[in-house]
Amino acid sequence: MTPSTAPALQLRGISKRFGHVTALAGVDLTAYDGNILAVLGDNGAGKSTLIKVISGVHQPDEGEIQVNEESVILRNPADARTAGVATVFQDLALVEVLDVSTNMFLGQFPRRGWFVDRKAMDQQSRAFLDELRVTVASVKTEIGMLSGGQRQIVAIARAMRTGAQIVLLDEPTAALGVRETAHAADLIRALRDRGTAVICVSHDMNFVFEVADRVQVMRLGRVVGVREIATTTRDEVIGLITGSIADSPTEERT
């Protein structure tokens, strides 16, 4: 099921050290348009560091990042955005005291001359949330008044709105109930169906097997396997996570 097209995002030999701790050791990653890649791993596997490298928060000590087969250097989150990477962070990165539509456009406020075009912002937010069947009473509601699930959905919707080619999701279901998780899964599939390359870091095995197309397993800062969801099993993936199945970092079944 791996698309035959060129990868949207490719990481080669990414290493990152914090003092004496090696968080990432020669990590490769490939993500394709219209495809959901799940990144699984135990605590300390390097998933969060990997997300932060791709989103421009951390800079790798070694290795190369390519977007659409062109090498990019992501010095900060703004660079990552410019390169077409949007990230939904685990702590959501929403501003609680600001309303939904302002949060939807954070960092990319539409303007009319010198001023922010508040009307366009509200209308587009409303239209976009309606399209995604997200129920928020008013786009002028402050984020602080929403439930955890609603916040998560707004955060995902924001990443979709930016029209980024590559969307990173860090533990998208961590704080969600059953119904909200299902809605988040719908949104992520909608994202894929628009042709977005989705990378989704998660602990939630059920969610990964339900939503993802491919899964990359990490352990202790290394990639220990990349599998197609259709052709792998939970047991195999769990074996890779715990290390009971031998590493096979470069073998990707097709």
Partner 1 sequence: MTQTVSGVAPSAGAAPAAERRVDWTRYSQQAGLIAVVVLLGAVFTAKNSDFATSSNLIELLRAATLYFIVACASTMILVGGGLDFSIGAVYALGAVVSGELMTHNVWWPVAILGGIAAGVLVGLLNAAISVYLSVPPLIATLGTFFVASGLAVVMTSGSDVFGFPDSFINLGAGDIAGIPNLIFYALAVGLIFHVLLERTLFGYDTRALGGNRAAAAANGIRVARRDLQLYSISGGVAALAGILGAARLSTASPTAGGSGLTFQVITAVIIGGTSLFGGSGTIAGSALGAILFAEINNGLQVVNVNPLYQQIFIGVILVAAVAIDQYQRKRRFRA
Report how far residue 9's alpha carbon sits from residue 66's, in angstroms, rounded to the nearest whole number.
6
Report how far residue 236's alpha carbon sits from residue 220's, in angstroms, rounded to the nearest whole number.
18
Minimum distance from residue 237 beta carbon to partner 1 (Å) = 28
- The answer to whether 246 and 225 are in contact (CB under 8 A) is no
210 forms bridges with which residues in the sheet?
Answer: none
3-class secondary-structure state, position 188 = helix
Residue 206: in which H helix or E strand, if any?
Answer: helix 205-211
- The answer to whether 144 and 102 are in contact (CB under 8 A) is no
Minimum distance from residue 177 beta carbon to partner 1 (Å) = 4
Minimum distance from residue 117 beta carbon to partner 1 (Å) = 10
Minimum distance from residue 152 beta carbon to partner 1 (Å) = 9
Pick the closer one to partner 1 by CB: 145 or 174.
Answer: 145
Pick the closer one to partner 1 by CB: 166 or 229.
Answer: 166
Minimum distance from residue 17 beta carbon to partner 1 (Å) = 22
Which residues in this chain contact partner 1 in the complex, by CB under 8 A?
A: 55, 57, 76-78, 81, 87, 89, 91-99, 102, 106-109, 111, 114-116, 118, 133-138, 140-142, 144-150, 153, 176-180, 183
Pick the closer one to partner 1 by CB: 4 or 113.
Answer: 113
Pick the closer one to partner 1 by CB: 86 or 215.
Answer: 86
Pick the closer one to partner 1 by CB: 176 or 223.
Answer: 176
Minimum distance from residue 2 beta carbon to partner 1 (Å) = 30
Pick the closer one to partner 1 by CB: 153 or 169.
Answer: 153
Q: Which residues contact 26 (CB under 8 A, 6 or more apart)?
A: 13, 14, 15, 62, 63, 222
Closest by Cα among 168, 145, 147 to 156: 168
Question: Which CA distances in Å does 169 have to 29, 39, 55, 80, 110?
Answer: 15, 10, 10, 14, 24
Report how far residue 239's alpha carbon sits from residue 205's, in angstroms, rounded to the nearest whole number.
13
CA 157 to chain centre: 12
